[in-house]
Amino acid sequence: MAADSHGMTVTTSAPRRFGHLLPLALFVLALASGLNGPVTAQETLFASTKPLAPRDAFELSVELQPDGGRVLSWEIAEGYYLYRDHLAVETIEGDVVPLETAPGIAKHDPTFGSVEVYYHRAEATFSQAPGAVRVTYQGCQENGICYPPVTDTLPAVAPASADTEPAASSPATSPGSGPGKVTATDGLADNATSRVQLAKDEGLVSDLMDRGGSALVLLGFFGFGLLLAFTPCVLPMIPILGGLLAGQGATLTARRGFALSGTYVVAMSSALALLGVAAALSGRNLQIALQSPWAIGGVAILFAALAMSMFGVFELRLPNAWNTRLSRTGTGRRGTFGGAAILGFTSALIMGPCVTAPLAGALLYIAQTGDTALGAAALFSLGLGEGVPLLLLGIFGARALPRAGRWMQTVNRIFGFIFLGMAVWLASRVVPAAAGLALWAGAMALLGVFLGGFDQLEATASPIARLRKAAGVSALFVATLLGFGAATGGNDPLRPLAGFRAASSAVPPEKEIAFSTIRSLTELDAALAKTEQPTLIYFTAEWCVSCRVIERRVWPDPGVETALVGMQLLAADLTEFDADGQALLDRLGSVGPPTMIFLDAEGREAPGTRLIGEPDPSAVVASARAVQ
Amino acid sequence: MSNIRRRTLLAGGVLTAAAGTGLLSLLRAPAFAKEITVEEVLFDPANPVLGNPEGDVTIVEFFDYQCPYCKANHPVLTETVEADGNIRLVMKDWPIFGAPSVRASQLALGAATLGRYEAANSALMETDGKLDETRIHEALKDVGFDVAALDRAYRDERSRWDGLMGRNSDQATMLGLRGTPAFIIGTTIYPGAMDAAALRDAVELARA
């Protein structure tokens, strides 16, 4: 679709997220110009066969360099050429931007003397330019016609509000050429480049900023937060906060519940804002940078300690001496607020680092504009939105939770196991798979024991006690299987004995979408170089919870499977995050997993196809179709 | 979920942009609003006419003095016109190669004011390679022109000649011409260079 005769990928790659609206935009445009009358009327005045439209003959694409410079490249149709002397870049104010170009082929034309021209491909580089720039180029069809200069406006790299509108509406004039006129109605898509050419995204923040200023940005991000509140990125926070509240016991009131959950939410939002600041300072996604064994191990231990505290093994409080000094309101309270803050902070940064469209939008906005304040504020707002259900939980949960007695103990133990489960889940990211299985075995054994799997039942035991015992025995049985699996080289907690089966039987593996894993730019380039197919690059990682959802819901979808036939599928695995991983993220303009990038056969990303966060299968199908 | 939201937002953005663009086009519309007719394209009264002014077929060429294929094609064109004897040749200046092209057109049209258009046009079409001020002047001096006089002549009728070039450019845009050379023979557009046979066929077709 993108490669049809009309070369502008934006205008033709129809059914993308917002790509499908572009035809509409163009239709409106056509309608408006239809009112001009002559343009369409005169087409039929004279019969004609035409050479290619200049933008089809010379397809401009732009690649952003890490240093803020840009590489312009033109794919030149067979039998057409561009003049080296007629490549020019100027700012909107008309200042010439110095351009580096390679020597062209000397074309000795008896009537045109010696001029340097480019066949097939031309490239020009310029360093950072303030604001939007106009690129002008001119060429001819061999032995046919020579085109008037073509001018395309490229949006500012740092999209300040006024310059971000695409060039569609501004007529491009040919500087210094008198009355020559070219209208750049299809100058929308000057993106994409060599090897990997990324589509330009207007950006969520700039988009909101343009239409409603920073207030709309904050409001919008609060709204995104609300929408994200029930995704797997945020859901784990509910039991965490629940456990925190349950641990309060008798001291828990609705007011205190609100204050605690408020602390938690503010800390979580601050962590997100800090993400923005850290991204601005280091150019890295802190969430990903924090996926180190030390950070994860530390948090796993924190959760294990919380679990033990919930079991009543010990009171997780600051020493009494500190408390009496620090707290006027009562023992342990300060400590609990501190705990809420720590939990909120670590939840956002380490528990489920989720890259969602708004998060990516804000981080990219900061990266592009350096406007840390607005970016961080937007992220804070996002956190507050995500925290709304947690605040409600704080207020209403406080009433529902038992304050004392046997029930409180039970509730505390339930949350204790939730914390333990999180501790094991975190730890299993950083220990060998078999060790992870062993940890799960231990946790299940503990659960079995707590449920009373080993307790003797009286003959008169109630049905509930018997059910409990049955559950406990089951848990112990699962623990045994897991332990056995761990000892025999299993690695999947859900299929602990898979090692056995693989060895003993030849059951054909389930039909699955097969990704090739890449971990560095070199591997990416190699993979792209050896294929003629369109490519899907899927950023994933073991620790990416949204990626698990994608693996369960998106890849097995029959529609998706069909749509991805004939595509090269690359999984950029960031589980072990290092400089190579960062380089991949930088090159592909992503802030982390899950992100799906769709490249056509020429390695150009089709505009509007990128999927960040958890997409619907239909969105994946649409994006895949756009590059095939 | 976020995708849907984002889609909605972007939809709004695109619609806003589209509406803005539409409005802009409407505001600009008057510049293009005048209808053009075959008459205006073939018989612009300001444009010098070569060949046989009473000819029964008109060949219009949109050209630039630096366009290699215009120049390479020019001898073939003039020979064909001459051999036929019944063709009006209308060379429409459409300078697309920057300032030197504009300058060459201005001086050639200045020569038209002085009644010597054909000599100036041929001299400039016979130049080699890229043009600059010096080369243009040399080419014109070589065939006996006084450049200063040509410049004065152009300036004396500046509104006429600038108006003509502006109309040429508008017509090229409205006709959807991709570039130079572009021929209109009869009522058919022929983009790109044409050899003698193609020219003769086109003329015949126009007469039929």
A51 has a chain B CB within 8 A of its CB: yes
How many A/B residue pairs have CB atoms within 8 Å? 239
pLDDT value of position A410: 82
Q: Which domain holds residue B11?
A: 1-33
CB contacts of A182 in chain B (<8 Å) are 173
What is the average per-residue pLDDT within A75-101?
Answer: 86
Which one of A10, A82, A112 would you mutate to disrupt binding with B, by most B Cβ within 10 Å of its Cβ?
Answer: A112
Residue A574, token pair as written in the block: 């960031």
Compute the mean pLDDT over every residue in chain A, rounded to the nearest whole number.
74
DSSP secondary structure letter of residue A555 = T
Total of domains in chain A = 3
Window 80-99 of A: residues touching B by CB (8 A cutoff) are: 86
Q: How far apart are CA A61 and CA A75, in angstroms?
A: 8
Alpha helices in A112-165 (DSSP H): none
Are B16 and B87 in the same domain? no
Between B6, B98, B189, which is nearest A357 by CB?
Answer: B6
pLDDT band at A181 (very low <50, low <70, confident <90, very high): very low
Between A17, A112, A149, which is nearest B129 by CB?
Answer: A112
Among A283-287, A336-340, A582-586, which stretch is predicted with the lowest mean pLDDT? A283-287
Cβ distance of A21 and B10 shorter than 8 Å: yes
- Examine the pLDDT at A184 and tell me if it is beyond 60: no
- Examine the pLDDT at A505 and tell me if it is beyond 70: no
Are A243 and A268 in the same domain? yes
**Residue that is last in its domain, among A174, A194, A214:** A194
Between B33, B68, B182, which is nearest A111 by CB?
Answer: B68
A222 has a chain B CB within 8 A of its CB: no
Residue A438 lies in a domain: no
Cβ distance of A38 and B66 shorter than 8 Å: no
- Examine the pLDDT at A390 and tell me if it is beyond 60: yes
Our CA-based measurement puts residue A510 at a distance from the nearest CA of chain B, in whole angstroms, of 30
Considering only residues A68 and A9, tell me which one the structure prediction assigns the higher pLDDT.
A68
Q: How far apart are CA A433 and CA A187, in angstroms?
A: 52
- Surface-to-core class of residue A114, CB atoms within 10 Å of its CB (0-12 exposed, 13-18 middle, 19+ buried): exposed
What does residue B50 show for φ and ψ, rounded to 5 degrees? -105, 180
- For A1, half-sphere exposure in the C-beta direction (CA atoms, 13 angstrom radius) is 21
- Examine the pLDDT at B92 and tell me if it is beyond 90: yes
Q: Can you say whether residue B11 is alpha, beta or left, with left for phi > 0 and alpha for psi between -120 and 50 degrees?
A: alpha
Q: Establish whether the linkage from the previous residue to A593 is cis, with ω within 30° of 0.
A: no
Residue A200 lies in a domain: no
- Examine the pLDDT at A592 and tell me if it is beyond 90: no
3-state SS, B157-199, equals CHHHHHHHHHHHHHHHHHCCCCCECEEEECCEEEECCCCHHHH
What is the average per-residue pLDDT within B151-171?
Answer: 91
**Residue that is last in its domain, among A164, A194, A224:** A194
- Cβ neighbours, 10 Å, residue B44: 18
pLDDT band at B76 (very low <50, low <70, confident <90, very high): very high
Our CA-based measurement puts residue B114 at a distance from the nearest CA of chain A, in whole angstroms, of 23
Are B195 and B111 in the same domain? yes
Cβ distance of A227 and B101 shorter than 8 Å: no
Are A372 and A225 in the same domain? yes
Percent of chain A residues topping a pLDDT of 70:
75
Which one of A109, A138, A145 would you mutate to disrupt binding with B, by most B Cβ within 10 Å of its Cβ?
Answer: A145
Contact present, A298 and A306 (Cβ < 8 Å)? no
CB contacts of B175 in chain A (<8 Å) are 42-43, 45-46
| Closest to A86 measured CA to CA, from B101, B150, B57, B174 | B101
Most confidently modeled of A14-18, A41-45, A60-64, B103-107? Answer: B103-107
Among A51-60, A91-100, A276-285, B35-44, which stretch is predicted with the lowest mean pLDDT? A276-285
ipTM of the complex: 0.75
- Surface-to-core class of residue A574, CB atoms within 10 Å of its CB (0-12 exposed, 13-18 middle, 19+ buried): buried
- Examine the pLDDT at A1 and tell me if it is beyond 60: no
Are B96 and B23 in the same domain? no
What is the average per-residue pLDDT within A19-44?
Answer: 34
Residue A239, token pair as written in the block: 């039991």
CB contacts of A50 in chain B (<8 Å) are 176, 178, 191
Residue A460 lies in a domain: no
Residue A121 lies in a domain: yes
Between B5, B23, B28, which is nearest A227 by CB?
Answer: B5
Are A71 and A217 in the same domain? no
Q: Can you say whether residue A608 is alpha, beta or left, with left for phi > 0 and alpha for psi between -120 and 50 degrees?
A: left
Could you report the per-residue pLDDT of A233-282, keeping only the tens digit for each?
777 788 888 888 887 776 777 888 888 899 999 998 998 888 888 877 77
Are B49 and B138 in the same domain? yes
Are B68 and B168 in the same domain? yes
What is the average per-residue pLDDT within A80-93?
Answer: 86
- Examine the pLDDT at A118 and tell me if it is beyond 80: yes
Q: Can you say whether residue A350 is alpha, beta or left, with left for phi > 0 and alpha for psi between -120 and 50 degrees?
A: alpha
3-state secondary structure of A506: coil
A202 has a chain B CB within 8 A of its CB: yes
3-state secondary structure of A576: coil
Are B28 and B43 in the same domain? no
Residue A499 lies in a domain: no
Residue A214 lies in a domain: yes
Residue A414 lies in a domain: no
CA B158 to chain centre: 17
Could you report the per-residue pLDDT of A219-236, keeping only the tens digit for each?
888 988 888 887 777 777
Could you report the per-residue pLDDT of B23-42, keeping only the tens digit for each?
333 333 333 445 678 888 89
Considering only residues A12 and A546, tell me which one the structure prediction assigns the higher pLDDT.
A546
Are B49 and B19 in the same domain? no
Q: At what angle do helices B147-156 and B133-142 cross, to 10 degrees?
A: 100
Are A150 and A236 in the same domain? no
Contact present, A143 and B69 (Cβ < 8 Å)? yes
Cβ distance of B69 and A37 shorter than 8 Å: no
pLDDT value of position A511: 52
Total of domains in chain B = 2
pLDDT band at B184 (very low <50, low <70, confident <90, very high): very high
Q: What are A605's strand-pairing partners?
A: A599
A211 has a chain B CB within 8 A of its CB: yes
CB contacts of B2 in chain A (<8 Å) are 224, 227-228, 356-358, 613
Contact present, A283 and A589 (Cβ < 8 Å)? no
- Examine the pLDDT at A330 and tell me if it is beyond 70: no
pLDDT value of position A150: 86
pLDDT value of position B105: 95
**Residue that is last in its domain, among A405, A425, A460:** A405
Cβ distance of A37 and B129 shorter than 8 Å: no
Are A127 and A225 in the same domain? no
In B52-156, beta strands by DSSP E = 57-63, 87-93
Q: How far apart are CA A302 and CA A422, in angstroms?
A: 10
| Closest to A166 measured CA to CA, from A131, A197, A190 | A190
Q: Which domain holds residue A63?
A: 52-194
- Examine the pLDDT at A15 and tell me if it is beyond 50: no
- Examine the pLDDT at B89 and tell me if it is beyond 90: yes
Could you report the per-residue pLDDT of A368-383, keeping only the tens digit for each?
777 788 888 888 998 8
H or E segment to which residue A297 belongs: helix A293-310
Are A169 and A253 in the same domain? no
- Examine the pLDDT at A45 and tell me if it is beyond 80: no
Cβ distance of A35 and B16 shorter than 8 Å: no
Q: What are B93's strand-pairing partners?
A: B63
DSSP secondary structure letter of residue A146 = B
- Examine the pLDDT at A166 and tell me if it is beyond 50: no
Minimal-distance CA residue of chain A relative to B105: A178
Terminal C-alpha separation, chain A = 6
CB contacts of A613 in chain B (<8 Å) are 2-3
Are A179 and A251 in the same domain? no
Q: Edge-to-edge strand order for the sheet containing A113-119?
A: A105-109, A113-119, A80-83, A139-141
Contact present, A200 and A10 (Cβ < 8 Å)? no
